[in-house]
Amino acid sequence: MDTVFRDVRVIDGSGGPSYRADVALAGGRIAAIAREGDPRPAARRTVEAHGLALSPGFIDMHAHSDLALLRDPAHTAKAAQGVTLEVIGQDGLSYAPVDDRTLAAVRAQIAGWNGGTPEDTSVEFTWRTVGEYLDRLDHGFAGEGIAVNAAYLIPQGTLRALAVGWEDRPATPAETERMKRLVAEGLEQGAVGLSSGLTYTPGMYATDAELTELCRVVAAYGGYYCPHHRSYGKGALAAYEEMIALTRRAGCALHLAHATMNFGVNEGRAPELLALLDAALAAGADVSLDTYPYTPGCTTLAAMLPSWAGEGGPEAVLARLRDDATAERIRYAMETEGADGCHGVPIDWEAIEVSGVADPALASAHVGRTIAGAARERGEEPWATARRLLIADRLGTAILQHVGHEENVRTIMRHRVHTGGSDGILHGAKPHPRAYGTFPHYLGRYVRELGVLSLEECVAHLTSRPAARLRLPDRGLVRVGHRADLVLFDPETVAAGATFEAPRTLPTGIPYVLIAGRFVMEDGHRTDVLAGRTVRRTARP
């Protein structure tokens, strides 16, 4: 044996009762589990538990580490939380498959999520296909790999930009066929499914018929569809219903991204969402969801604009913002009508806090301030401040949107198909603390302090349930023969260190994290181990 954890409390990921055992590892897998009365395994290294719990590694079902995994070899934001696998390519916008034109536009579109502006040379964009991107991740740093494992969703908005462009129109039959071929190629190259961002351009221009055709391809390969659906505000329930009906027609598994009920119109309405899910599940639908354990959301300021303002791509958006008459139309849509970019709800500038900017020169005047607060300092209306910032930062501004409801967060996380996802944007001077704190926050705040979930049930939400959605037969449980992607944490002290004031603070109470039996975190410190690799779907139609 390589390593044995002696007398550890095993929380095996099944949701069943924990138990005490010695757990031994060999060759990157769990080799033996010795309960009381069994022969005790010996190993080259012994770690005494001293009250620690051992669980499968946490799976982040909604991550935005598409460039961070290639930019930062330590990736401590996730490794320190016990995350051993991230699902990237989220919200319909990422960096493969692309051509040169599409890549340039997508980089500008999601600079607020990931950086990656033309001036950012920290990552060399050497790939164009899904397979090439996954190969780049596998080679990682000096060929050694990356910090944690990664699975990839094909981004539908990027597909549409590649095959159709940034126009608000239905795809032609030929364009739809090209997108279907790209989906099939991406799945054959290892992607686990398809994502959409249906409040983001250009993905939001897709019709249900178009999305259904793409989902039929996903279903044929045994993948799943992960939509950021068309509204989390005024039309939230209708948007959930739309996605359930669409995937039922396509015969495709559905995973609802950051499944929240936000804005004032949805306060206290989480039970309605869960009733909708229960009805779909009873009717045979294959549905799951993820959430983060916080109330504010996080996206880009440009995402708040109405969809018509985004037609044509980032440069066209900037041109509209510079035109006074068009900018006034945008303001009216956002502040009075309730733009689709803001989920059909009139924007509350007091709730929009700037968390990061692409241009560092803009940080001191904006980061950490709400748009309304910065406007008061300037003696102007909020839209004037927002418009100026969007133009100066070339749409690269990231924001926190304080629109959630705690009772909805707690209600949804109890559901039997719930999984954990950070939706963590690591870019920016003052990111959302969920990027550094989601998983210990579940364990410390919602298990130990509030008792919303038992420890065993919460670990199942973070491990075996996402592994089942990803169809990974040897992950997500502490079982002999399973991969030794493991977390050792102290149930009495585990907690998120990250706060809205200090969002990059690391958690406490997670001393050991292993990937493939190798120590990624040891005694609470990041090692130099790069054991992460891509997790690729291998099913064929």
Question: DSSP characters for 520-535?
Answer: EEETTEE-S---B-B-
Percent of the chain with pLDDT over 70: 99
Helix locations, 35-99, DSSP H: 68-71, 76-79
Percent of the chain with pLDDT over 90: 96
Q: Assign 374 to helix, strand or coil.
A: helix
Under a CB-based contact definition with an 8 Å cutoff, are residues 508 and 497 in contact?
A: yes
Under a CB-based contact definition with an 8 Å cutoff, are residues 285 and 310 in contact?
A: no
CA 279, CA 13: separation in Å to the nearest integer? 26
Q: Is 70 exceeded by the pLDDT of residue 507?
A: yes
CA 129, CA 255: separation in Å to the nearest integer? 24
pLDDT of residue 18: 98
Strands 149-155 and 83-88: parallel
Helix locations, 352-393, DSSP H: 363-366, 371-378, 382-392
**CB neighbour class for 141 (10 Å; exposed up to 12, middle 13-18, buried from 19):** middle
pLDDT of residue 115: 87
Under a CB-based contact definition with an 8 Å cutoff, are residues 3 and 44 in contact?
A: yes
**Tens digit of each residue's pLDDT (9 = 90 or more) over 383-403:** 999 999 999 999 999 999 999
**Tens digit of each residue's pLDDT (9 = 90 or more) over 143-175:** 999 999 999 999 999 999 999 999 999 999 999
pLDDT of residue 311: 92
Under a CB-based contact definition with an 8 Å cutoff, are residues 298 and 266 in contact?
A: no
Q: Is 80 exceeded by the pLDDT of residue 118?
A: no
Residues in CB range of 209: below 8 A, 6 or more apart: none
Q: Is 70 exceeded by the pLDDT of residue 539?
A: no
Residues in CB range of 388: below 8 A, 6 or more apart: none
Angle, helices 314-322 vs 382-392, to 10°: value is 140
pLDDT of residue 86: 98
Distances from the Cα of 95 to the Cα of 85, 108, 199, 428, angstroms: 19, 11, 18, 19
pLDDT of residue 116: 79
pLDDT of residue 451: 98
Of 206, 139, 213, nearest in space to 182 by CA: 213
CA 26, CA 201: separation in Å to the nearest integer? 48
**Tens digit of each residue's pLDDT (9 = 90 or more) over 47-75:** 999 999 999 999 999 999 999 999 999 99
Q: Is 80 exceeded by the pLDDT of residue 540?
A: no
Q: Is the dihedral of CA 467, 184, 188, 541 positive or negative?
A: positive
Q: Is 80 exceeded by the pLDDT of residue 484?
A: yes
pLDDT of residue 117: 77
**Tens digit of each residue's pLDDT (9 = 90 or more) over 432-477:** 999 999 999 999 999 999 999 999 999 999 999 999 999 999 999 9
Of 504, 470, 364, nearest in space to 57 by CA: 470
**CB neighbour class for 447 (10 Å; exposed up to 12, middle 13-18, buried from 19):** buried
Kindly report the average pLDDT of the chain as a whole number: 96
pLDDT of residue 474: 96
Rounded mean pLDDT, 421-430: 93
Under a CB-based contact definition with an 8 Å cutoff, are residues 62 and 422 in contact?
A: yes
- Dihedral angle at the C-alpha atoms of 86, 87, 90, 92, nearest 10 degrees? 150
pLDDT of residue 541: 64
pLDDT of residue 516: 98
pLDDT of residue 120: 81
Q: Is 90 exceeded by the pLDDT of residue 119?
A: no
**Cis peptide leading into 17, omega within 30 of 0?**
no
**Tens digit of each residue's pLDDT (9 = 90 or more) over 79-109:** 999 999 999 999 999 999 999 999 999 999 9
Confidence of residue 404 (pLDDT cuts 50, 70, 90): very high
Of 454, 456, 419, 452, nearest in space to 438 by CA: 419
- Tokens 């709800």, residue located: 345
Confidence of residue 537 (pLDDT cuts 50, 70, 90): confident
pLDDT of residue 426: 94
pLDDT of residue 228: 97
Distances from the Cα of 309 to the Cα of 106, 166, 231, 315, 372, angstroms: 16, 11, 17, 11, 22
- Tokens 């397979």, residue located: 131
- Do you know the residue count of the chain? 541
